[in-house]
Amino acid sequence: MSEPTARFSLRLKLGLLAAALALVPLPAVGLFVLDRAEGALEEEIGEAQLAIADDVGASLESQLTRVEDGLDVVGRMLMSERLDEDTAVQAAMHAVEGVEALDHVAIYDGEGALVDVVRESGASPPRLPDTLPVDLRTRAGEAGVAIGSAQPGDVAARLTVVVPMRSAPTAPPNAFAASSVSLEPLQSYVTRVADRRLRHDSGAILVLDASGHAVADSNGMEGEPVRDVSDHPLVEGLEPGQLTAMFSRQSTYPRGETTLGTIASVPSRGWAVVVEVPTRVALAKIATLRTGVWIATAVVALLALLAGLLVARSITRPIATLVGLAERLGRRELGATVDVRTSDELSTLGAALSRASLDLEASEARIREEEAIRADLGRYLPGEIVDRVVAREQDMHLGGSRRRITVLFADVVNFTPLTERSEPEQVVAILNDLFTILTEIVFRHGGTVDKFIGDCVMALWNAPEEQPDHAARALAAAEDMVRWLETGNETWKAKYGVTVQLAIGVHTGDAVVGNVGSETRMAYTAIGDVVNVAARLEAIARPQQILVTRETRDEVGDEFDLIDRGERQLAGKGEPVHLFEVRG
């Protein structure tokens, strides 16, 4: 592969990168800040609008409460049994004159017919209905007060407020006191609040009754004391019932102007107050801030380009030294070091690369040593145990745990005559070849080589790792051992003039598996009758015969072709053992 050539200087690249790093994130950060500032400002505006709406709602509530209290007082005066008729009427007139928002009270009988009107001196009440509507009487009787829909008045909307008159607190209404209350004080209050708190002519405050009609407007009702505002952008599409919730949203007028508005309910009355401000006025500060962000972005980008070029010049000098060290490490010249003295991160990088080079050299030496140790341990211990010991996962304390295992003994038949006919070196070579292959077969089937006893090998399954099919693994390994001898004997026959045959015994049962020995020298093995039985089977097996017990046969089921050999008395066993032979 050809060596790459530098077509653009690193100094230029770093300068452009610095400018790019300033140009890319700075607008993003600016936009993020603007967005957060705009959101915070909108939230602040919403809270201010909600406060205004609460004040207007409180004024409405106060006016209606005074009217209701006045009507209740008039009703109590007229229904009082302790006052004569003239005194009661005079007291009622005093009560009417004492309530600013109340200039008259109409008295209706229990059937809703107009009986009389109590009014302030010289006051001219509006035309009152001759009969009080049934729904107002019903609601007043049930809730203690009823308010009718807003109706147009001479200068402002009017509300019919009705309270029941009772002879006793729990008695049904005997009559009703009602008044057509002008909302002119509410209209005046809304206008004053808008002038004082919105601080501009383009904002607006609307008061909506329970049916969603405007009954007060800070910009004036324009000759419509009660106005349908269903096409107002802020409330358009909302049902009257939705006006009981509080929420803010942005709306757009047909002429294209957008506003930030808040709708807040007057819960006790089912009314709502709308406060809105044009977006261009509310967010004027954001527009100014946006201009400042773009100017700052341009200035910072220019400064970043200049700074990048200056820094790049100081960076490029020691880089060649670092590149040289990297090339040497690439050629595995471990242990090489450099001395970069720039008093910045490059100096730290040079020191780190030098330490890494030395650490790699030491690490490779440790790896080679560990590989040698692992290989040496593998000669004495099963591979799984070696891995667990190296990983510090193997329990190295004396003792073990009880578990069900399958044990295999494989012994060279007629080993003594073989040693008598052959030189010791040949016997050792044959056994080494044999045990090497038998070990590989055991490992291939997931078993653990427990020990070599002279010309015999002992292996076990289901330890140290759990193996649900441990018996099947052991029989498969036994079959492979017998089959392999056919090839191995050809080699030994040609090389040493001898052949080898195995007798194999396999048994399944419970044993204690773990570390046995002393604190200074121990062996991983299995202790239990299962080991003794497997050894006895190997002792009575014929050459190239695999004997297994009923326990092993029950574990493997019909997976292997087994011949029933009946019961057999084994040395050291009180009861006969049922044997099976693996068909060759």
| pLDDT given for residue 1 in this prediction | 41
pLDDT of residue 254: 58
Within this chain, do residues 336 and 401 fall inside the same structural domain, yes or no? no
> pTM value?
0.47
User: Is 203 within the bounds of a domain?
Assistant: no
Q: How far is CA 297 from the centre of its chain?
A: 36
Is residue 362 domain-shared with residue 410, that is, in the same domain?
Answer: no
Instruction: Give the phi and the psi of residue 422 in degrees, each rounded to 5.
Output: -120, 160
Kindly state whether residues 400 and 328 are assigned to the same domain: no
* CA–CA dist 179, 162 (Å, integer): 7
Determine, yes or no, domain membership for 297.
yes
Q: Say yes or no: 488 and 577 in one domain.
A: yes
The residue from 182, 197, 212 where one domain ends is 182
Burial class (CB in 10 A: 0-12, 13-18, 19+), 504: buried
Residue 567 lies inside a defined structural domain of this protein: yes
Picking from 134, 152, 182, the residue at the C-terminal end of a domain is 182
DSSP string, 57-117: HHHHHHHHHHHHHHHHHHHHHHH-SSS-HHHHHHHHHHHHHT-TT--EEEEEETTSBEEEE
Q: Are residues 349 and 407 in the same domain?
A: no
Q: Quick check: is 575 in a domain?
A: yes
- Residues 546-569: tens digit of each pLDDT: 999 999 999 999 999 999 999 999
Domain range enclosing 362: 285-366
Q: Give yes or no: residues 411 and 352 share one domain.
A: no
Phi, psi of 237 (to 5 degrees): 85, -5
Whether residues 351 and 451 fall in one domain: no
CB 456 within 8 A of CB 410: yes
Same domain, 47 and 146: yes
In contact, 54 and 272? CB cutoff 8 Å: no
Residue written as token pair 């890319």? 24
358 and 402 in a single domain? The answer is no
Residue 243 lies in a domain: no
Q: Of 122, 147, 182, which marks where a domain is finished?
A: 182
Can you tell me the distance from the alpha carbon of 444 to that of 461, in angstroms, rounded to the nearest whole number?
12
Secondary structure (3-state) at 260: strand
β-strand pairing of 545-549 with 502-517: parallel
* Shared-domain flag, residues 418 and 543: yes
- Tokens standing for 388? 């667990």
Nearest to 382 by CA among 513, 534, 509: 513
- 106/166 same-domain check: yes
Q: Which residues pair with 206 in a beta bridge?
A: 217, 274
Q: What residues in the chain have per-residue pLDDT under 50?
A: 1-4, 6, 380
- 300 located within any domain: yes
Report the greatest alpha carbon distance in the chain: 150
Specify if 224 maps to a domain: no
CB 459 within 8 A of CB 473: no
Distances from the Cα of 540 to the Cαs of 31, 282, 409, 476, 536, in angstroms? 90, 103, 12, 20, 7
> Per this entry, what is the length of the chain?
584
Domain containing residue 535: CATH number: 3.30.70.1230
Q: Same domain for 354 and 479?
A: no
Tell me, yes or no, whether 211 lies in a domain: no
Contacting residues for 17 by C-beta, under 8 A, at least 6 apart: 308
Overall number of domains in the chain: 3
In the numeric block, which tokens belong to residue 542? 């014929």
CATH number of the domain that 111 lies in? 3.30.450.20
- Res 384: pLDDT: 62
